[in-house]
Structure 1
Amino acid sequence: MAIATMGVTVLDCPDPRRLAEFYAGVLGWRILEDRSDSEWVELGDTAGTRRLAFQESAGYVPPEWPSLEHAQQLHLDFDVPTERWDEAEREVIEAGARLVQGDEGKRDFRVYLDPVGHPFCLCAK
């Protein structure tokens, strides 16, 4: 028997609402409760089974990718149909992401930084 079940994944950031809006656009998810405290914002998928949260962190220092000195700690992988890969890249960049490693025609993923520096990948599927 499992000790626990996976709950929400939480990213530290300087402005939870702003980063939640970025990921809501990337994933097509919605902000769950619009709580008056701006220190915590959660997104949920349309089925209500997956959640991603953003927590305000005073003095937030973004990870550096790639780096051992300010390691990423974790990253998020997002699957994209192969035929939409370039379009998805344009959309995340327009939303505020920055490409930091392309696929160079050799890999099935590309690495980006979100607006506050968390790394994530768009993975061709």
Structure 2
Amino acid sequence: MVTAGVVVLDCAEPEKLAEFYRELLDAEETEAGANRVELRSADGFRLALRRDMNATAPSWPRPENSLQAHLEFVVDDLDAAERRIVSLGGRPIEATDAGGPLEERGYADRAGHSFTLRRGPSTAPKQG
């Protein structure tokens, strides 16, 4: 029986990448060793960063060395979350003009792993 899961990202510098995700997710460090750092967010999401001295950043959306892992985070305010990501050293990787607010946006963390922000379901009452 599987009782818990952890998403693990390989990277050259787990301490630095853990700092990015700790701040982004407002998470706490639950485990730290020479080659692995594990974080847990308030809602129980677990993410570990594992040292791989030969880690190569994913190239998504280009086909060579493509998508190795993909995280999706649900947010209320895409613009505010984007500002936070950029301030932490992340970068946008998808820029499309959909003629209005995008419901989903792609980013890369400091080590090049891709992730998506998706607007969560509205909690406001339906109008009309």
SS at match of 2:93: strand
CA RMSD in angstroms, aligned pairs only? 1.6
Between the aligned residues of both structures, percent identity stands at: 36
Q: Report whether the alignment pairs 1:69 with 2:67.
A: no
Q: Deviations over 1:42-93 (max 9, x none)?
A: 001225x321000000111111011222111221011111xx2111101101
Aligned partners of 1:117 and 1:90: how far apart in 2? 17
SS at match of 1:12: strand
Aligned partners of 2:14 and 2:58: how far apart in 1? 17
In the alignment of these two chains, the number of paired residues is: 118
Does structure 2 conserve the Cα–Cα contact (< 8 Å) formed by 1:102 and 1:109?
Answer: no
The residue that corresponds to 1:88 in the other structure is 81
TM-score w.r.t. structure 2 length?
A: 0.84
The residue that corresponds to 2:49 in the other structure is 54
The residue that corresponds to 1:97 in the other structure is 90
Larger Rg: 2
Does structure 2 conserve the Cα–Cα contact (< 8 Å) formed by 1:31 and 1:41?
Answer: yes
Which of 111, 117, 122 aligns to 2:117? It is 122
Aligned partners of 2:40 and 2:61: how far apart in 1? 29
Q: Deviations over 1:84-113 (max 9, x none)?
A: 211110110110111111352364111111
Aligned partners of 1:102 and 1:38: how far apart in 2? 37
Which of 41, 45, 51 aligns to 2:41? It is 45
Q: Which 5+ residue runs of structure 1 have no aligned equivalent?
A: none
Q: Which 5+ residue runs of structure 2 have no aligned equivalent?
A: 121-128
